[in-house]
């Protein structure tokens, strides 16, 4: 038996007036039940005093004793502790006390001479009862704690019968809903949900919990004062030892505030998204307008420019004799300025064309494209010896016209900015990085200071003067627009006097 709890040994009070019997019985009990705490007294009065002091779990007492007999003592003990376990021992001729003994709450009755078998049977019986009493007490404590937690907990709680009749609601439930326990106990749970929830939700709830599974969800309910509120509900079925459904426990949380917050956030986000959309559209429209403006200016400028150039050449040819050297020189300058202006206008038109028209995506063989560009560059400039390295099999998906223009721009720059290098070398290739293909053009030319790197993609920004290298400063801006239209990026690395590398991606993720 598991009654000998380490922290609380079971104790027994033995009351017997005959010192000899007292001695023998005490020592036998001590030997048989070594873990038991024993107290002994010689009469009812002394026994009662010991009982009051030690509150033993079991009382074993003789009946006829001087001063106070066992029956009297049993009465007194019972009035102190109605659950006391009392075993009375008496002589055969005292059986007339039997009724009194029952009345006194004696739980066991043994006859003299004492049979130890019977005695221990009675004691064991009491010990089992004590163990049960203790266990019940522990459980009751646990239940008390649980119910306190339920009563004072932060969540609303409801217990219903298996058929949904409300058996319990905690204080939080009453506080939030405004319904007192008296108003809802005995009512069907559906009353608190009526009209508030789509019926298929409820059907799902019932089918889930009747299977013995937990159900979680959100409900909208009405408080007693008519106010609507959102609650998060989890319903768990309770079963008995045999596994049959006895009750449901519902834990509910008022989430109205949280819901309102979420709704507010959602509305804010929508508003923000809308505003960003509008702003983007505005900016796109402004950009388009600017492009159109640029295009028409560039376009409209070509005609007067052609006039200027034309008339200055006529002047130079037909009135050569009337002009002195300074006059001829000025006309020559007008002529070359208009040629340069013509280049600028052409490049501007090219740049604005990049953002017009539809983008088609096709397979492009970039290696072949690069080879062609190099071939035409060296055909135009046969005196230059340039070491050209083009990686094989570099391909991409993109708009052939635009991607061709971008690659051509980069290669032409590399060609141009290696012009003063005794052993020029230009490389075209690609590499994969985090699932993205990066294309690059590398040269060992003049390079540039990295501090100016962001500037070079701005139209007309040049790091090198026209006297040094020809150009309009529109090439890289064009490359950037083309790459951006494809969903890619372009960037550059360089060092003054040590060459530069231009990298770009085209949005399509493949190695």
Which conformational region is residue 301 in: left (phi greater than 0), alpha (psi within -120 to 50 degrees), or beta?
alpha
Closest CB 262 distance from ligand ADP, rounded Å: 50
Shortest gap between Cβ of 443 and ligand ADP (angstroms)?
A: 5
Block residue for tokens 């007292």: 22
Q: Is 448 in the site for ligand ADP (CB under 6 A)?
A: yes
Does 390 engage in binding with ligand ADP (CB under 6 A)? no
Candidate segments 116-124, 184-192, 383-391, 446-454, binder of ligand ADP by CB under 6 A: 446-454
Long-range contacts of 206-209 (CB under 8 A, 24+ apart): 209/235, 209/236, 209/237, 209/248
* Shortest Å distance, C-beta 292 to ligand ADP: 22
Under rule CB under 6 A, residue 445 binds ligand ADP? yes
The encoded tokens of residue 51 equal: 């009982």
Helix ranges (H only) for 360-509 are 366-380, 400-417, 475-485
Number of residues that bind ligand ADP (CB under 6 A): 21
CB of 345 to ligand ADP, least distance (A): 14
443 binds ligand ADP (CB under 6 A): yes
Name 163's Cβ contacts closer than 8 Å, sequence gap at least 6.
188
Pick from 123, 166, 403, 446: which binds ligand ADP (CB under 6 A)? 446
Instruction: Provide, rounded to whole angstroms, the least separation between the CB of residue 303 and ligand ADP.
Output: 24
Q: Is 417 in the site for ligand ADP (CB under 6 A)?
A: yes
- Rank residues 312 and 418 by Cβ distance to ligand ADP and give the closer one: 418
**504 is a contact residue toward ligand ADP (CB under 6 A):** no
Q: How far is the CB of 257 from ligand ADP (least distance, A)?
A: 57
Cβ atoms of 426 and 385 within 8 Å: the answer is: no
Q: Which is nearer to ligand ADP, 104 or 490 (CB)?
A: 490
Q: How far is the CB of 413 from ligand ADP (least distance, A)?
A: 4
Nearer to ligand ADP by Cβ, of 72 and 501: the residue is: 501
Q: Which of 221, 211, 209 is nearest to 253 (CA)?
A: 221
Q: Name the token pair of 11.
A: 């104790």
Give the list of residues 6+ apart from residue 361 with CB closer than 8 angstroms, or none. 397, 398, 399, 508
Give, as one character, the DSSP assignment of residue 187.
Answer: S
CA 94 to chain CA mean position, Å: 80
CB 219, CB 229: distance < 8 Å:
no
499: left (phi over 0), alpha (psi -120 to 50) or beta: left
What's the Cα-to-Cα distance from 81 to each of 50, 57, 68, 108, 399, rounded to whole Å?
Answer: 14, 10, 19, 16, 98
By CB under 6 A, name the one of 500, 503, 505, 506 that touches ligand ADP: 500
**70 part of the interface to ligand ADP, by CB under 6 A:** no
The window from 138-146, 244-252, 270-278, 445-453 that contacts ligand ADP (CB under 6 A) reads 445-453
Three-state DSSP at 260 gives: helix
What character string, x for contact with ligand ADP (CB under 6 A) and - otherwise, covers 449-478?
-------x-----xxx------xxxxxxx-
Yes or no: say if 23 and 148 are a contact pair by the CB < 8 Å rule: no
How far apart are CB 498 and ligand ADP at their closest, in Å?
10
Q: Provide the binding-site residues for ligand ADP, judged by CB under 6 A.
A: 413-414, 417, 443, 445-448, 456, 462-464, 471-477, 494, 500
């Amino acid at each position: 038996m598991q009654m000998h709890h380490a922290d609380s040994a079971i104790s027994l009070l033995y009351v017997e007036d005959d010192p000899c019997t007292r001695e023998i019985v005490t020592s036998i009990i001590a030997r048989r039940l070594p873990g038991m705490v024993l107290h002994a007294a010689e009469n009812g009065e002394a026994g009662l005093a010991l009982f009051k002091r030690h509150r033993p779990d079991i009382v074993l007492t003789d009946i006829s004793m001087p001063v106070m007999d066992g029956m009297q003592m049993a009465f007194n003990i019972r009035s102190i502790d109605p659950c006391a376990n009392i075993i009375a021992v008496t002589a055969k001729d005292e059986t007339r006390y039997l009724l009194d003994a029952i009345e006194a709450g004696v739980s066991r009755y043994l006859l003299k001479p004492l049979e130890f078998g019977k005695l221990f049977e009675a004691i064991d019986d009491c010990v089992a009862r004590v163990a049960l009493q203790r266990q019940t007490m522990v459980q009751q404590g646990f239940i008390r704690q649980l119910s306190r937690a339920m009563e004072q907990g932060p969540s609303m709680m409801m217990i219903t019968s298996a058929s949904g009749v409300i058996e319990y609601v905690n204080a939080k439930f009453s506080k939030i809903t405004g319904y007192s326990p008296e108003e809802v106990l005995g009512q069907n749970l559906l009353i608190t949900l009526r009209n508030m929830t789509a019926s298929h939700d409820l059907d799902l709830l019932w089918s889930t919990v009747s299977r013995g599974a937990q159900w979680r969800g959100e409900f909208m309910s009405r408080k007693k004062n008519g106010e609507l509120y959102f609650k998060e509900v989890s319903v768990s079925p309770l079963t008995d030892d045999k596994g049959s459904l006895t009750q449901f426990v519902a834990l509910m949380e008022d989430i109205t505030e949280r819901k309102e917050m979420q709704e507010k956030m959602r509305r804010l986000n929508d508003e923000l998204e809308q505003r960003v959309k509008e702003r983007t559209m505005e900016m796109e429209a402004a950009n388009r307008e600017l492009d159109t403006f640029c295009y028409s200016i560039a376009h409209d400028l070509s005609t007067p420019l052609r006039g200027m150039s034309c008339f200055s050449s006529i002047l130079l040819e037909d009135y050569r004799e009337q002009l002195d050297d300074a006059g001829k020189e000025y006309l020559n300058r007008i002529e070359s300025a208009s040629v340069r202006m013509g280049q600028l206008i052409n490049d501007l038109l090219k740049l604005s064309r990049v953002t017009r028209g539809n983008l088609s995506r096709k397979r492009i063989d970039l290696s072949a494209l690069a080879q062609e560009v190099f071939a035409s560059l060296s055909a135009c400039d046969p005196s230059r010896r340039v070491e050209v390295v083009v990686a094989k099999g570099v391909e991409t998906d993109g708009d052939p016209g635009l991607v061709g223009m971008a690659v051509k721009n980069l290669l032409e720059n590399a060609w141009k900015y290696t012009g003063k290098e005794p052993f020029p070398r230009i490389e075209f290739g690609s590499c994969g990085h985090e699932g993205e293909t990066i294309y690059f053009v590398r040269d060992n030319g003049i390079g540039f200071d990295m501090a100016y790197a962001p500037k070079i993609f701005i139209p007309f920004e040049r790091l090198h003067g026209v006297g040094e290298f020809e150009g309009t400063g529109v090439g890289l801006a064009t490359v950037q627009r083309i790459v951006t239209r494809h969903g890619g990026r372009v960037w550059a690395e360089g060092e003054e006097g040590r060459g530069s590398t231009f990298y770009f991606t085209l949005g399509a993720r493949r190695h």
